[in-house]
Amino acid sequence: MTVLKRISAVVLAGVMSVLLIAKIHAQNPAHSADSTGAPLPKDIYPDSRNRLPLPSAEYQSGRLAVGIYQPGVSNWDPQLIKASRGASLKYSMDVSDPLLEVAVLVAARELDVQYEWTQWETHGRDPKDPRYLDPALIDIIKYEKPVVGLGEKETAIINFGREIFGQRRVSSATFAEVQRLFGNKSTVDLVWVMAGYSVAGAEMTAFDNHLRADQEPLLPPRPHPLDAVRKANLAASIAAAASPLPKDIYPDSRNRLPLPKRENMDDEGKKAFDQVSRPERLLRSDAMTKRSVRLYSNPQFAAGMDEKQRYLTYDTGLSDRLLEICVLVAAREMDSQYEWTEWETYGRDPNDPRHIEPTIIDMIKYEKPVVGLGEKETAIIKLGREMLGPRKVTFGTVSSATFAEVLRLFDRKGTVDVVHLMANYAADAAELTAFDQHLKEGQKPLLPAR
């Protein structure tokens, strides 16, 4: 392509994005306001208070007036809803309501999710709510105070969440304390409740979910001094690959829980085990290793997560090339050494359907400016960086221009699928961090320190 043609293509893409934003503005007059009385941004629909309108008459704007209710952008892909039905743990855990409240608040704080924090702080401060907490505990999480004077379970959950999402490296001592207090099943449950809220947080960032008009935002912004800690932890993970396995890592799974044995499970567990270990399910060399941790939880959850991940990874209609880019961006932004190394290996293999140009891999790997790529590749990288990348002083969000470009290229269903694909792999990164998943023996770490 000549320089003139490239310039023309870029200009045309920009014009199309502007026209799409203008179309949204025309269809969606800003006749609603936020809690300060200011009009909503022009690309926010008043019925849903995010960048997509409510998908059906089932969702009435009046339902947004009370309680926790997140407008379901996922409903723009009914197959995703169907595939996700079993992938929820929140109300089937062996954890009390107050401890659930602590777990969600920690995830919302560490990920800077204003919408989730405001809902859950409201419930946590209500003495009539079963999730009620001591206000001093809420403030410890909210203002990132040292964890002192709390019960051992509350202390363990806060430290666990801060290390998973904040530092992106969970110490052996922290994990051992959580495991002692909650056992294997509830430890997995806690990880996935918090990881599930990281998916919701990514979705809310991408679709710019606004609070109800009567709500005041309760989560204060913050700078992120943990960037240096995260860099050091990623460097440590690279060095650890050449060292003997830590004492709390099992050789069969290469993480902090041994591979579960089918013969030790009940009938429901055996059914879930058989589902996730079917040959056609194990499309990746690491698939069973990752899924094995979830088998310690509710069998329906393990099977449900398998269905959801299978759908998002292989059944949305996204090409193998764009799938590869989505996962690489998520792995890079989350500093997930395990995920990155697996998927870079696929992407560099000319015989793999996910093969992409080495220049694209390096652009993502070394966080280079996005230039010279196709419009879909460019849009995905920008979306992932804005949605999952490091926050600054204020709350991160995906820009209207970036979102409009993704929406133009992928339509509503495709946009939901791309967002959830990357968010799901970001949640996987949280699991891999919590259980300290090591690379296969002899495998060289490919993700460099930032």
pLDDT at 17: 38
Summarize the confidence of residues 340-368 as an average pLDDT: 97
Phi/psi for 132 (5° steps) reads: -55, 135
CA distance 62 to 71: 11
Task: Give pTM, 2 decimals.
Answer: 0.87
Burial of 386 per CB tally in 10 Å (0-12, 13-18, 19+): middle
Q: What value does the mean pLDDT take over residues 411-415?
A: 97
Look over the chain and give the mean of its residue pLDDT values, rounded to a whole number.
Answer: 85
Burial class (CB in 10 A: 0-12, 13-18, 19+), 340: buried
* Strand extents, DSSP E, 186-279: none
What is the rounded CA–CA span in Å between residue 127 and residue 280?
50
pLDDT of residue 322: 98
Q: Is the pLDDT of residue 422 over 50?
A: yes
The pLDDT confidence band at residue 290, using thresholds 50, 70 and 90, is: low
Does the pLDDT at position 172 exceed 70? yes
Higher pLDDT, 41 or 299: 41
Q: What is the arithmetic mean of pLDDT over 114-135?
A: 96
Q: Answer yes or no: are the C-beta atoms of 292 and 260 closer than 8 Å.
A: yes
Per-residue confidence at 61, pLDDT binned at 50, 70, 90? Answer: very low
pLDDT of residue 171: 97
Ordered structural domains, the chain, with CATH? 3-83 (no CATH), 97-206 (1.20.1290.10)
